[in-house]
Amino acid sequence: MKRRLQRAAVFLAIFALLALAWLSFSLQRFPVAVIRAVDASGKPVAGAIIRPDGLRTKPGPYVSGHYGWATAPSWPPNRPVVTDADGWARVPYPKYVFERIETGQISFSIQHPDFVPDRPFRVVDTKPPAGALWRVWLNYVGGRLRLKALVARTDPVVLLRGGVLRITARPGSSAPDSPPVFAQISGEAAINPDSWQRPQPGVLLTRQLEPGPRLVRAVQFDSRNLAWFSEVFTVNGAAGATNDLTVDLRPGVMVHGRLDESVPRPITHGRAIAQVSPPDAKSQDSPPVWHTWAKIRSNGTFDIGALPAGDLEIVAICDGYVSTNGPGQFKSSMRYPQKSVVGSNDLVLTIGMEATGGLEVTLKDEAGKPVPNAVVATSPNVRYGEWWANILGSDCYHTADHLRPDPKQTGWSDPFPGFSGTTDVSGIVVLFNLPLEVKRFGVSHPQYALPATTTASGGKSRDASVTLTAGETNHVEARLERIDQSPIKHY
């Protein structure tokens, strides 16, 4: 009898704890990831700053995608969170990545002055998604029991001690008047600009050099604000080890470009965007690339630079025209930059151009009535280094502005006109400047959405297909449904 009472008391205690936990979680607006930072010996790291920046979904057709942190009522703000004395931090995250597709992982940066910065992913929810079959739940519970852990814990973030890198600009072989030295270093985790020290003129030092082989380039800016560059060096980072580099810097070169004669003058809204990678560098290793851009004059000419030596990728776009596609694997769906090589002399280039297309979209609801105030958007991509892509013509930023402590330009993206628009009272919007790789468009509206269609990977997407003809305004009509009619779910 006594043993039965003890078992009952234990059962009631467990039930009370579960009920308390359920009540606690039910009162929270957002789920919370509990993340711990430790050093290589397992000791907690206090004062590390965590900044969430992205999500991945639970296992399924969408898990390979990486979704940026949105600004929306259903998302918590991605404010920095600091680890406590025991290394713990609580990071709120949205329950759903989109519609009813649940969050499984978050990505974040983590920085501490005594350790190498990192940008890891961590699993935050291992439970099967809502609607999962009983077999899925049985396998999940069985796995937890085998591991003797009813609750899955997020793996700790192990912060590593960095190596020391000291860069010295050789006197007489650098920019005049010994301006401050900056540096670019390869690797996924970018060294915080605040971690660099300048113990004396012409010297730059950090104690956060990431372990392993790293590519390093020194940079200076002369009185005209033009960049000078060193060669790209390979150093091997190791905790406690010091790498000393004495470098020579030379002025960067300029690209003097013009659009070919197929583009009528005057040119409007012209942009030329350039990116230079170290020779033979692999983009997947995050080498020190140099990115910059310039406006194209009404006569079709532009000057862009100063640029370091290396492999140049350049793309141009203006009203009605885009640079012809460069070499690449996915040319049917991506726009690639044209390629050249930057050496020690200025370059003079003629950029081949071709016409873009327009698209008139008419949106109607289930009853055939026009849907006004809906945002129709396309996402033509430009792909650099056969590795990463972003919206064509929008990456109007300068690497130089991210090196200096007081950047003139804090923005990263400047959308090119015509890729999106809002329907009028007739449910019509006209998009323009679209390269022919645009095959689909999406719609955003508070009450309506495009019907979901199944993708090649087995997931679902709310977009509509279109085929463009260059130099023409193409026409398409789409029917929308109530946004809550059939939400996209895992099951």
User: Which residues of the chain does CATH 2.60.40.10 include?
Assistant: 252-355+381-410
- 374 phi/psi in degrees, rounded to 5: -100, 135
Q: What is the pLDDT of residues 373-429, one digit of tens each?
A: 999 999 999 999 999 999 999 999 999 998 886 555 555 678 999 999 999 999 999
Rounded Cα gap, residues 197 and 200, in angstroms: 9
Architecture of domain 163-250: Sandwich (2.60)
Confidence (pLDDT) at 153: 75
Q: Do the Cβ atoms of 320 and 433 come closer than 8 Å?
A: yes
Q: Which tokens is 85 given? A: 């004395």
Q: Which tokens is 204 given? A: 């730059």
Q: What is the mean pLDDT of residues 146-157?
A: 74
Q: Do the Cβ atoms of 449 and 443 come closer than 8 Å?
A: yes
Homologous superfamily in CATH for domain 357-380+419-491: Carboxypeptidase-like, regulatory domain (2.60.40.1120)
Q: Quick check: 17 pLDDT over 60? A: no
Confidence (pLDDT) at 221: 96
How far CA 254 is from CA of 108, 271, 293, 294, in Å, comes to: 37, 16, 12, 11
Bridge-based pairing of strands 310-318 and 347-351 is unpaired
Q: Which CATH number fits domain 31-158: 2.60.40, 3.30.70, 3.30.420, 2.170.240?
A: 2.60.40
Helix (H, G, I), strand (E, B) or coil at 7: helix
Q: Quick check: 65 pLDDT over 80? A: yes
Rounded Cα gap, residues 26 and 20, in angstroms: 10
pLDDT interval class at 458 (50, 70, 90): confident
Confidence (pLDDT) at 23: 47
Rounded Cα gap, residues 389 and 385, in angstroms: 9
Rounded Cα gap, residues 288 and 214, in angstroms: 10
The CATH class that applies to domain 252-355+381-410 reads: mainly beta
- Cα-only R_g, the chain: 27
Q: What is the mean pLDDT of residues 118-143?
A: 87
pTM of the predicted model as reported, rounded to 2 decimal places: 0.88
Q: Which of 12-16, 63-67, 110-114, 151-155 has the lowest mean pLDDT?
A: 12-16
Q: Do the Cβ atoms of 378 and 395 come closer than 8 Å?
A: no
User: Which residues of the chain does CATH 2.60.40.1120 include?
Assistant: 357-380+419-491
95's CB contacts (< 8 A; 6+ apart) are: 30, 31, 102, 103
pLDDT interval class at 26 (50, 70, 90): very low
Hey, what amino acid is at 260? D
Q: What is the mean pLDDT of residues 7-19?
A: 55
Q: What is the pLDDT of residues 239-249, one digit of tens each?
A: 989 999 999 99
